[in-house]
Every structure is written in C-alpha cells, then in structure tokens.
Structure 1
C-alpha cells in the first residue's frame, strides 16, 4: 500500500512538473521564435540605416506588418530624397515658390556663437498686421536645454491706437554659455498669418526685429519653421519620415552622425539642425523622442491628420 501511494504521488509530481515546464517553455519558445523572426526581418534590409531603422521600429513596439508598411515609406523617402530634398527649384519647394504649408508656424530666436551666449538678450519683433495677425507663446527651446535662461514676453500688442503694426517683446535672461561655438535656437514663439501671406519665405520676410544683447561675441538672428515639415517642401510626407526615423535610429545606437540625417531642408539658414529638431517635434510636447517617431509614422501612413 505504501509503495502504491509513493508511486501515485510520484506520478502526480511528474505530471505537475511536466505541466509547469510546459507553461513556461511555450511562452519562452514563442518569444525566441519571434526574436528569430524579427532578426531575419531586419536582415532582409540593406546594411546600414535601413537595418537600423527596421530594428528601431520593432523596438518601439510596431509589429512586423506595421514595420513593413513604414519601411516601404522609408525606402520611398530614400529614393525621393535623392531627387527632391536638395532641389531648391522643386515646384512645391516652400521657401522658393508661392506655397505655404497648412500647419502652424513658429519663430525661432537664434544666438550665433553659442559659446559666448551669456547674460541677457532682449528681442523686439514686429510685423504689418495685414500679414501677421499674432505673435506669442514665447518659450525656451528644447534644443538648448540646460543652458537657456528664463523667457519673459509682453505678448502681442498694438502700439497706442495704431492697429497696423503688431509687436511682441521677448527677453531671455540668465543665458549660459554652450559648450560649442555653433549657432543655437534659444527661444521659440508661434506666429499666425493672414491669407495675404503666400509662401514660407514671405512669412519670414514680413517679420522684423531688433535686439540688445549683453554678449559681445554673439549676435541674434531670427528664422521661421513649420511644424513637422523638415525639408520645407510644403508637405509632411515620406521625406520627413525618412529623416526623423533615420535620426532617431542612429541616436538610439549612439551614432555620432545622427544629426546628419536632419541636415537638409534648412540650407543657408542659421542653426539648421536646431530648426529641423524643433520642426520635428510633431506632437508639440517640447522634446524630440520616440513619441514623435510614432506620430510621424501614423501621419505618413494616413492614420492621423495634423
């Protein structure tokens, strides 16, 4: 009887162990199988940025099917970049034609030689109210985090009873020296325009400014940019998706050449990389991160409209 009980217990224990092993082994095998699938999927793309981007998208949580769709857009963007992104005479090239992208626009206040950016910068902006209807919302730039000072602003106003010119006075105090001498955006503000503004270039040209600056080795410049339109061609499309996906994929691997992915669209403009990064903050949360890549993917795949 004792032996029978021992055998029965042993049998139950063996079954329990088998069940326990099965419960853990199947998910582990499934995870391993999925990892192999994903590795094979990444390897199916060309060595370099394509593999980096594919791996990055999978790490973000996109499925293989979703990543395939986004990679198709990415590869299309690679091809289009060679033809369009550097062509200043493209038909819809925003800064070189009568075209204005239908998304919100911003003003960037830039310090040259940021290594000497110390103290206080007071910038006065103004524009003809027939073209610019509002300037406001001044805030520190996320590309200058840790060095930018405190931003204060008057908000838009009209001088006395003259409603033909709109003004905004912005002061950035307690500025700190940046480690390098490059130009950096220290402050941004939004700008609202009227139907009389016909192009991106015209928008910038209607904004006037002067300034005082306690830094002797730096000057102030002003530029404009549109939300999400990295190459300033008047659309948010696969070209912009290509740039932001490449940038974040490289950055995710600590690649030294990440910024190079954004080095198009703002040719000839002061602080082009900063302007591209500010434009790329598509979800407008004051930082450039994975969430922007996810939203770009939804926009270019037609799931979300800006």
Structure 2
C-alpha cells in the first residue's frame, strides 16, 4: 500500500519535473529574443527567467521531503544551480551522474548557465566586471535610436602609468578595480559605467542633460578617483581628466557623441589634468 502510494507520487513528481524542463526551454527562448531585440536594462539586466524555475524547484524540494535522501540531494544541487544562474553567478556545472529526468533537467540548467556566461563574456570587462566598449556602444545606439536624452562622460586616469610601471601590473590591475568600484558608487541605477580599454572609462547618464547636474557628477567622480588608495602597503593616488558630451546637442549618433566626449577629455588634460570640460 505504502509502496504503491510512493510510486504514484514519484510518477506525478517526474511529470512535474518534465513540465519544468519545458518551461525552462520556453523561458530561455524568450530571454534570448528579449536581449537581442529589445535590450532593456542598464547594467546587464536580463529577464529573470529563472524566477519561476527556482520557485518550482523550491516547491519540488518541499514535496521531495517525502522521498529518499538521494532524491533530496539531487534536488538540492538543481536548486543551487538554478539560483546561481538566476543571479548571474558563475556557478559550477551540475553533475548528477544519472541518466533520467533529473539529468535532463540538470542539462537544461547547465545550458542556460552557459548561455548567460556567453552573454556576460561578450559584454563585460573581465578585469573590473564593468560593461565593455561593445556593450556601451550597443546601449548608446539603442537609446539614441529611441531619442532618449543622455550624456557621455569620457574619463582618462591621470597618474596610472607610473603606478603600473613602479609597482607592477598586479598593483595596476588592483587600482583599476578600485577605481571601477568608486565610479560605480558615483552613479544612479539607470547609469552605465564601462571600461573601454587601458585606463579609459565611460559613464553613460541616461535621461540626463542638465549641465549643472553633470558638473556635480563630474566633481564627484574627480573626488572619488582622487581619494588615495592603499595597495600592498603602498599609498597610491591618481586623478582623472573628464570630457562631457550631451545628446542630441553634441552629436547625432553614438560615434559622434563618444568622439565629442573624447575631444573634451583631451582639452581637460591639456588644461592641467584632474579637471573636466564640456564639448564645445
């Protein structure tokens, strides 16, 4: 009697898991199309396609308390993998060493984690975790296509090369990471901070074109970048030269806006460094 009830429950449970696999495949397709066709979001914001999966697996785990320890252990691995993928974390692949519906579900989750990793690698600076040039230009193209007012702040670090030369590349890399964190702290949730190469950064201020507000933001960036940092017991300090360009006043497309901000940055650097200039 008990065995018959258990088998009946297990059969129902397996059907539930197969339905979850179908849901994952559907959400994966929707997520991929959303990213490719309507790139909403600011800092690598993807559709939370794993939310339903995590909730479903959580419910499955609750019911699985009545199953064997083996089944519960499998579900723990699946839930942890789904949660890691839902939060964009770089989780380890799920390896169940099974040949059943659980393994099919694990393969589906692994596939989604691989897809997220591929998207992340294509759009993210590997050192700082910021957006890269490709992503920032993509977002600029999109916002300009929607005629969204915006400002671009082009930032070149002053004093980075001496740090890199004197203290080594590891210290230089650590300095870049610290600067990236500080720049991010200066921005709103809707802004995008990108490292476009070497010691050059861009901040995209969506919906912001007021010159006085931009001056305040530039002053904040200069203050944060110029704050001394300690690396391997050494007190290091850098500055920044900043150029600011505004769409649509200073350009009609992403390339012209970035070029205008770049020109303004060089004007700031030639004027004595550790300053900002608006494109004119």
Higher helix proportion, which one?
A: 2
Give the TM interval when normalised to the shorter protein: under 0.3
Higher strand proportion, which one?
A: 1
TM score, norm. by length of structure 1: 0.26
| Structure number with bigger Rg | 1
